[in-house]
Structure 1
Amino acid sequence: MAGYSTIVSKPTLGVAPEEAKDHHVRDAKGEIIGFQNPHPSAGVLRNTLQTVGRMFLSRLQGKMPAPDLSNVQIPVIKPHFLEEKSSQAQSSSSDTKSLRATWLGHACYYVEYPNGLRVLFDPVFEDRCAPSRFVGPKRYTQPPCKLADIPKLDAIVISHSHYDHLSEPTVRELHKHNPEAQFFVGLGLASWFHATGLNKVTEMDWWEDATLTVKKPITTADGKETVEEIEAQVSCLPCQHSSARTGWDKDTTLWCSFAIKSGGKSVWFGGDTGYRAVPEMPAEEDDYGPKYDSLPRCPHFKQIGELRGPFDLGLIPIGAYKPRWMWSGLHSNPYDAVEIFKDTKCEKALAIHWGTWVLTIEEVEEPPKLLKEALKTSGMPETGVFDTCAIGETKEY
């Protein structure tokens, strides 16, 4: 579109805790060579081969059955966007005064801000979230639309490098349809985008802020053409996870959550994160019971809430959590998600990181049910505060 442009300021450290750089791993010369989870809440890093071997043995013993996909009832509907893609000048961004969030599956949300800013979080539209199109987790719910159906994007946020959050074919197609859109990624990941042929990428560290300025040609109500300028503050913030795309690049790029504030509204995107690592325990035991109350909780989220909150909307992961002894340091279950919601001071929240691929062994429709239980346990309404929705459904705030 003629006249459309995006500019990003150089990221700078914003309000941050004293230990803001504890996640850096440096070599003898002081150069950053990787990243780590700096708090005990992440648990102990397990040997990958031992973990895989134990999973295989447990499967043979019937202790880790695969989820049943024979009758999945997760609805997929066609999304309704404010306007369709058009080669004409865009209508005024004052079409709505609401923040609109549309779930496109797994961790992907398309968010329309009241001032016309459009942001896409962690898009992966491939059938499999894996290096190969032929092996790896396969979708059991389909995308609600094509990438070409999504209106013009101003920003695309990638939380980390895992294949269920970063897809090369998706990124390439998005860039084809949105050549001016700015990608925001964690430290170390920009080189992957450059190798893919994309240069509009801003690499950020935890607690850094950048200003995105978007100039959009619009047609006003009286038919006049003008250029509207939109600004957004993009903040890279912590989470508790890991990264890798191959067998030799583990934790060499940074995993992040992000906050974007624009048009008087703010969204915190949790990406993929754990909250508190729990030990192996009998199935009937509650890891939020008194016996385990002293387990360390990740302090990142209270820091985010105190230093950067509150937020109008949180996009918070609730799935891929069983067995807990294996995944709790890296993935949140619904009870963790409710605690993260409270810690980050989000006014409302929508669930992400479920309903698309089988990544772990809980039944695929369990996360929303446990979320209601977790909300009730916390004395919160079961609906209207922290919700799930159909794939393709839009919520307004």
Structure 2
Amino acid sequence: MSSSTTSSALYATVSSSSRATGAVPKDTDKLRHHNKNGKGFINPWDSYTPDTTPPTVPVQKPQFLPTRETKTLRATWLGHACYYVEFPGGLRVLFDPVFEPRCSPFSFMGPKRYTPCPVDVADIPIIDAVVISHSHYDHLSYPTILKIKEKHPNVHFWAPLGNKAWFTKCGIENMTELDWWESRDFTLSARKQDAETTHTETGSTVNAGGAEDIKAVIGCLPCQHTSARTPFDKSHTLWGSWSVESGGKKIWFGGDTGYRSVPDLPEEENDYDEKHTYPTCPAFKEIGELRGPFDLGLIPIGAYDPRFIMSPMHANPFDSVNIFIDTQCKKALGIHWEDVLEPPRVLKQAMVWKNLPETGVFDTCDIGESREY
């Protein structure tokens, strides 16, 4: 029996509990990120005021585990912000999947991928949850979402507040939207009537009745960004980072975020010079203190030039290392880059700047490559 058939034997439930809620900042109930003057959301912090080479990052064919059996946390980069994470205990999560050639509402125009997509939905054996950081086209792809729903009909989608209506229009009911600092328990279990049925998943045998439930806690957390799918709906839906805990491992997915807004400075001037005191986003320290530490962080490091325009929404590697420290991630992998090779080089410089190892702690990898933790 195919892996998709096996996966379809697991049925997800989402529930609230004291365990899922977790610690929150003292002013959470003020909902400062909700726009008080109308529809939508805002970044509530003071930190949000406002060499290119051909693509050469290697792309390799990813190798996924054929079954749910794994003793380590395994993360595979599928390009841009997309990661496929295999948790000990069996949970399989896909973050910000975009497998189309263009990030656009049109197939014939709009931003085009710098590198070929290393995988198709049909190549991924198990998808239990799809986590979306925000509604921009390079993070939320309509064709990709529909393909996932068709191949994995019991998959559960997660997105920040305000995005449920979009999924409903797509015919997707297995969806949970969360506000910042909200979490839910997520449980995968076999149907009771399957208790005496043996399912075969790519060569392995799993007794549905005897198998333990797969449990996770999935939470939406802040980040500094925005959202839109048209020229008329900017910030109408919330953006967010995410935490996922399952099988004794916990990760933080940064999605797309800025850290501090920097003005237009002379090119030779370092905006991290001591004379500059630009506010930094406080949410990342709150995430680390209240929800950390994390075994692995998936942290954006690219799309940061020109700095004075991009800094409110996109972190450069120096920002990214600060985010890594603030969120209390033990290890990290860079996401949201592939068009230039500068971000990985600058990331090493930023690690040295913070007296951290150049490699082995906060790294980058090839597209399609897997790392284990």
Alignment deviations for residues 167-214 of structure 1 (CA, whole Å, 9 cap, x no partner): 000000011111111101011000000001111110100000101101
Tell me the percent identity: 55
Alignment deviations for residues 57-86 of structure 1 (CA, whole Å, 9 cap, x no partner): xxxxxxxx9x342xx321000111111xxx
Pair 1:228 & 2:212 matched: yes
Could you say if the C-alpha distance between residues 19 and 145 of structure 1 is closer, same or farther in structure 2, counting changes exceeding 3 Å? same
Number of the residue aligned with 1:268: 252
> What secondary structure sits across from 1:143 in the alignment?
coil
Number of the residue aligned with 2:355: 379
Pair 1:132 & 2:115 matched: no
CA distance in 2, matches of 1:385, 1:77: 22
2:34·2:40 contact (CA, 8 Å) conserved in 1? yes
Number of the residue aligned with 1:338: 321
**Higher deviation after alignment, 383-392 or 124-133:** 124-133
TM-align CA RMSD? 1.9
Q: 1:15 aligns with which of 14, 23, 38?
A: 23
Matched residues, number = 353
Pair 1:103 & 2:77 matched: yes
Pair 1:38 & 2:38 matched: no
1:9·1:212 contact (CA, 8 Å) conserved in 2? yes
Q: 1:243 aligns with which of 215, 220, 227?
A: 227
Alignment deviations for residues 226-277 of structure 1 (CA, whole Å, 9 cap, x no partner): 3331110001100000000001111010000000000000010000000000
Could you say if the C-alpha distance between residues 142 and 222 of structure 1 is closer, same or farther in structure 2, counting changes exceeding 3 Å? closer
Number of the residue aligned with 2:236: 252
> What secondary structure sits across from 1:210 in the alignment?
strand
Q: 1:24 aligns with which of 15, 21, 34?
A: 34
**TM-score normalized with structure 1 length:** 0.85
Pair 1:313 & 2:313 matched: no
1:218·1:228 contact (CA, 8 Å) conserved in 2? no
Pair 1:325 & 2:308 matched: yes
Number of the residue aligned with 2:335: 352
CA distance in 1, matches of 2:131, 2:141: 12
> What secondary structure sits across from 1:137 in the alignment?
coil
Taking the TM superposition and a 5 Å limit, the aligned residue runs for 1:69-218 are 69=54, 72-83=55-66, 91=67, 93=68, 95-216=69-190
2:99·2:119 contact (CA, 8 Å) conserved in 1? no
Alignment deviations for residues 298-326 of structure 1 (CA, whole Å, 9 cap, x no partner): 00000000000000000000000001100
- Cα offset, 1:224, TM superposition: 6.4
**TM-score normalized with structure 2 length:** 0.91
> What secondary structure sits across from 2:212 in the alignment?
strand
CA distance in 1, matches of 2:297, 2:229: 27
> What secondary structure sits across from 2:147 in the alignment?
helix
Q: Which runs of 4+ in 1 moved over 3 A?
A: 10-14, 216-224
The gaps in structure 2 that reach 5 residues or longer are 191-197
The gaps in structure 1 that reach 5 residues or longer are 45-64, 84-90, 357-363
- Cα offset, 1:10, TM superposition: 4.5
1:128·1:137 contact (CA, 8 Å) conserved in 2? yes
Could you say if the C-alpha distance between residues 177 and 22 of structure 1 is closer, same or farther in structure 2, counting changes exceeding 3 Å? same
